[in-house]
Chain A
Amino acid sequence: SQQGEEDPQALSIQEGENATMNCSYKTSINNLQWYRQNSGRGLVHLILIRSNEREKHSGRLRVTLDTSKKSSSLLITASRAADTASYFCATDAWYGGSQGNLIFGKGTKLSVKP
């Protein structure tokens, strides 16, 4: 069951520019997480935002959450070539399974050119 849908599917920018990725989801959530995946590697947790939060920062990352629109955005400021990766949002909607289960979107593939 697909929950999160990232937009755009692919994004190409120059180093130093900001990158914005969006995630939309379908059902009510308790929190939303963003993960990063370097090509063919495991996912790495970036940031979590709870349903009662609207914005959260971590270094060059800024995440917003709009529960009325069921959407979230991830902003990476002053991007670097090393930010090149795929970014996934994941939600943990209760649907009868484990409350720890994460439902991932299909990801945004970010390419930062030096």
Chain B
Amino acid sequence: EAQVTQNPRYLITVTGKKLTVTCSQNMNHEYMSWYRQDPGLGLRQIYYSMNVEVTDKGDVPEGYKVSRKEKRNFPLILESPSPNQTSLYFCASSFQGLWGETQYFGPGTRLLVL
């Protein structure tokens, strides 16, 4: 089944404790992206990747890192989480990241930073 998976689905952590949210897709997509969703703000892009070893900042990259060592995986790293990073996070992928392509979303990771 074609899908985007994220782990963990739920995470409670404390300020400053490094964490990684994994994202994996099995559709051989070149383009992958991370969004955060907050009430009243909608979805905002954090980082995206056009292909292996090619990543770039989205609208709200501060406090986040990403890497793209393999085509299927695009982990999101919070080196020193803060309470303002409490949010619902989504990973998404599309074939080549071209105009008009459908993006496929993961199920989301709900993060609470205390």
Contact = CB atoms under 8 A, between A and B. Distances in A.
Interface of A: 1-2, 30-31, 33, 35, 40-45, 48, 50, 88, 92, 97-107
Contacts of B35: 104
Contact of B56 (A43, A45, A97, A107): A97
Contact of B100 (A43, A48, A101, A106): A48
A74 B14 CA distance: 41
Contacts of B105: 35, 42-44
Interface of B: 4, 31, 33, 35, 40-45, 48, 50, 56, 58-59, 88, 90, 92, 94, 96-108, 110
A101 B58 contact: yes
B31 A48 contact: no
Given A2-B42, A41-B108, A102 B103 contact: yes
A98 B50 contact: yes
Given A43-B90, A98-B48, 9 more contacts: A42-B105, A42-B106, A45-B103, A45-B104, A48-B100, A50-B100, A92-B100, A98-B56, A106-B42
A16 B63 CA distance: 46
B112 to A, nearest CB: 14
20 contacts: A2-B42, A30-B99, A31-B99, A33-B102, A40-B88, A40-B110, A43-B43, A45-B103, A92-B100, A97-B58, A99-B97, A99-B98, A99-B99, A100-B48, A102-B45, A104-B35, A104-B44, A105-B42, A106-B40, A107-B42
B53 to A, nearest CB: 15
Contacts of B110: 40
Given A30-B100, A50-B100, A100 B94 contact: yes
